[in-house]
Amino acid sequence: MSRRRVVVTGMGWVTPLGDEIEDVWQRLLRGESGIRPTTLFDASTFPTTFSAEVRGFDLSKYLGRDTEKHHQASRNSRFALAAATMAWRGAGLEVAKTLDHTRIGIYLGGGEGPIDFDHFVAAAVAGWDRQANGGRGNLDARRWAERAVRELQAVSESEQDPNMAAGHIACQFNAQGPTFNTLTACAASTQAMGEATNLIRRGDADIIISGGTHSMLHPFGMTGFNRLTALSTRNDDCQTASRPFDQTRDGFVLGEGSGILILEEYEHARRRGAKLYCEILGYGSTADAFRITDIHETGRGGIAAMRLALEDAGLRPGDIHYISAHGTGTEENDKIESLAIASVFGGRETAPPISSIKSMMGHLIAAAGAVELITCILAIRDQVLPPTMNYRQPDPNCPLDYIPNEARKARVVNTLSNSFGFGGQNDTLIAVAVDEQNG
């Protein structure tokens, strides 16, 4: 018995470059940057004063009156609702007449949404006794608790839970099937889509709303990554600060957003006349089992994930026409990812072209993989590859073809997308043009 095939029938995203599929795609092909000085909070005293924010976002543009149903939704949940609505409508599900909602599931890579950060700070400041402890100050627990009750009562504590975006989406679209959320850092949405593919393959659902959403653009998030020295500090030239694979790279740019795709069983999609954007043909997932924030120096986890995905897809390395790299712009990630790709695909003469859209969008953390898979799908559709921007000075440790600074026309049938996360998580997806002759 052959396994059930999985296709993509709808896509939506909310990104630092906008939220309309075609407009954002064209901006990526033109090499435009969504990186600007941070405005969501005062970052002027931080080592990094810029980020890739989603600007001018309005959920009511997509949900209309239904927006009020989600009035307590955190920023990341709102992003996910908008992207899911675009994907749902794009898949024609809004007008589908016969849907078994018990066979519609959700699998997200969703990050936490600290909607009460400002309230928490206000409570802490109010509880600080500056005269105590010899003038060094002390936290008055009783005063803090009293203020915290007042500050936090207006917000929902449950919105801190990573699965809340999935819950909001389930409510909005009456998705009564299996619902999951994974938070494996920067690999989360790629892992979610891979696991969703397996759920459909084995018959647990016919449709799964999958992808990811995240916003860490708050002082806690920025401070954490600055302390890890993972962020670029190129404050005087922030629009070119994200420089994947370039020798002058000095870290990634923190971004936010959401990417949502409708994954559907092939025959189910054909019966209802859905447009088929691509087929998810291969998935590989591994762990480095090394260190929490460092990739193993041999690239063993990434190598294994790519090989597993190729095996799952029944493809050889030479069958891949484009790689969407994790490509963060940190010294170690880019060097080791290049090593891993070369180990699987060979050197510059045999490896497919590679690019990182993080050079324009920044790093969307848990949402990154989903947004990057959408670009693979659009590359297949339009037969054009997005560039890696800000690539000026080649690095001998990164000796492959990174599609520098200009989009490139190419034959694109089979694509591979990598996502590697803190904790040593490695996930790879292979998306290919739909072959309806072999349906």
Catalytic annotation present for 363: yes
In the set 214, 363, 376, 398, the catalytic residue is 363
| CA–CA–CA angle 61, 65, 70 (5° rounding) | 85
Residue with token string 């860490």: 216
Q: Which of 147, 84, 70, 56 is nearest to 115 (CA)?
A: 70
Integer Cα distance of 57 and 28 in angstroms: 19
Q: Domains, the chain, ranges and CATH?
A: 6-113+161-434 (3.40.47.10), 117-155 (no CATH)
In the set 70, 119, 186, 218, the catalytic residue is 186
The per-residue pLDDT for 158 is 52
The per-residue pLDDT for 112 is 64
The per-residue pLDDT for 218 is 87
Q: Which of 93, 110, 236 is nearest to 172 (CA)?
A: 93
| CA–CA–CA angle 141, 146, 150 (5° rounding) | 140
Residue 364, amino acid: L
Integer Cα distance of 124 and 145 in angstroms: 9
The per-residue pLDDT for 147 is 57
Residue with token string 């954002």: 24
In the set 238, 326, 376, 398, the catalytic residue is 326
What's the whole-number average pLDDT of the chain? 91
Burial of 42 from C-beta contacts in 10 A (0-12 / 13-18 / 19+): exposed
Residue 1's Cα: distance from chain center in Å? Answer: 34
Low-confidence ranges of the chain (pLDDT < 70): 1, 112-160, 437-439
CB 305 within 8 A of CB 401: no
Q: What are phi and psi of 149, to 5 degrees?
A: -60, -45
Q: Both tokens of residue 178? A: 């299996």
Integer Cα distance of 247 and 228 in angstroms: 20
